[in-house]
Amino acid sequence: MVCECVFVGTELLMGQILNSNAQFIARRLTEIGVTAHYQVVVGDNPERAREAILTALSRSDVVITTGGLGPTQDDLTKEITAEALGLEMELVPEALETLKVAFVRLGCPMAVNNERQAYFARGARLLPNPNGTAEGSIIEKDGKAVINLPGPPREMKPMFTDYVKPYLLKRAGLCLKSVFLRLYGIGESDAEMRVMDLMKSENPTIAPYCGLGEVEFRLTASGKTEAEAQKTLEPMLENVRERFKEYIYSEDVDAFGSMEIAAVRALTESGMTVATAESITGGMIAEKLTSVAGASKVVLGGLITYCDEEKTALLGVKRETLEQFTAISAECAREMAYGARERTGADIAVSVTGVAGPGDFNGIPAGTVYLALADKRGIRVSPLHFTGDRERIRTLTALRALNEIRKSAAKG
């Protein structure tokens, strides 16, 4: 089954907002085995949007659109879709009632032009939208299907997950099973070379993705039933586990895993707590940890000690240490981690100090980082060196710190 995505919105075309819907839908389609040959972004122009949808219909089985479902005059995606399929628009009483209830819930009056959102192509299957006022729809004709989804990601994503994904799987007549393996400590090229032989397989399949400092493998198998798909997937999954056992930090059935989720999971499972002491990252490690639901049970707090005086005042770093070795040193990182663990009572404390750049600092090259981790086994300091711009260095530092937390918690 071939699918094409048409993203409607002048704000996307002009780069005013990031088209995060494109990445989300592309990854979800790949997960369920639907082929996508094209993605098109078109502005709020009826003629060009109509041309984009007609072209998409001419070369694909399913067309997914996002955006243009609002109440204003330039929200014309539903009308253009109906015209492209040769269908009339009609008022759906149930949709109008849902719309009225939504505005009551929002506590504001419904304008007359909002009634436009209750009109759909004749025969359309409506997709509920509990997160907004624009319901989506699926229209089928002559073996083709067009799926209209709202533009805001907070509305589009749950609608796709709850309604579009099951529809596409049923239409394809397949059950799919996917597993995501996330690796840390190995480069993309090295990782890909190790699975070149497996990438020739058509069922199951393996696909590598590269993130900043990480590699992810998506393994997917199809079958007539979920059990059949799982059975097909298992041999390759076990094979990849064995090849990368020293690098795999998480194994999940969805694409939303991350190092911070893995770290919080390890802390939760071990019943341990963590505290952070950050200089170079300025709170990034603590922010990533606390972005994970349930982090309040394991994260005690974090200290941002960006200047030397605060390292001494808040963490107890000795002035003699700073004078002799400077703040960019293994000795300073060690005392930061010790101070964070002692002052918070956490089972694990991690500290980072270094030079993010741009340029050197007092002769110390940008990318020089010292990371220390304190736990019941003692304090271990890792001298690191990263390359790239300031944000890349800070992000890679935070990622390494999260991995150290994860490993420490996993040991208990």
Number of domains the chain contains: 3
**pLDDT recorded at residue 174:** 81
Dihedral pair phi/psi, residue 123, rounded to 5°? 85, 5
At residue 32 the predicted structure's pLDDT band, cuts being 50, 70 and 90, is confident
Residue 173 Cα distances to 160, 225, 232, angstroms: 18, 10, 17
Dihedral pair phi/psi, residue 333, rounded to 5°? -60, -40
As a whole number of Å, the end-to-end CA separation of the chain is 47
Report the predicted TM-score, pTM, of the whole model to 2 decimal places: 0.78
CA atoms within 13 A on the CB side of 34: 27
Q: What is the DSSP track for 312-332?
A: HHHH---HHHHHHH-SSSHHH
Q: Is the dihedral of CA 97, 101, 103, 108 positive or negative?
A: positive
Note whether 271 and 344 are same-domain residues. Answer: yes
Residue range 101-117, pLDDT digits in tens: 988 888 888 988 889 99
Structural domain of 291: 259-411
Residue range 46-55, pLDDT digits in tens: 999 999 999 9
Q: Among 149, 172, 195, give the residue marking a domain's end.
A: 172
Which residues contact residue 315 at a Cβ distance below 8 angstroms, ignoring those fewer than 6 apart?
Answer: 277, 303, 305, 335, 336, 339, 340, 343, 351
CATH code for the domain of 267: 3.90.950.20
Note whether 46 and 167 are same-domain residues. Answer: yes
Q: What is the DSSP track for 213-252?
A: TEEEEEEEEEESSHHHHHHHHHHHHHHHHHHTTTTEEEEE
> Of 133-142, 217-226, 287-296, 308-317, where does mean pLDDT reach its minimum?
217-226
Stretch 34-52: mean pLDDT: 94
Residue range 348-369, pLDDT digits in tens: 999 999 999 999 999 999 999 9
Residue range 328-346, pLDDT digits in tens: 999 999 999 999 999 999 9
Note whether 84 and 123 are same-domain residues. Answer: yes
Note whether 142 and 278 are same-domain residues. Answer: no
Q: Among 252, 275, 302, give the residue marking a domain's end.
A: 252
Cα separation, 38 vs 9, in Å, equals 17
Dihedral pair phi/psi, residue 286, rounded to 5°? -65, -40
Note whether 197 and 346 are same-domain residues. Answer: no
Residue range 392-411, pLDDT digits in tens: 999 999 999 999 999 999 99
At residue 145 the predicted structure's pLDDT band, cuts being 50, 70 and 90, is very high
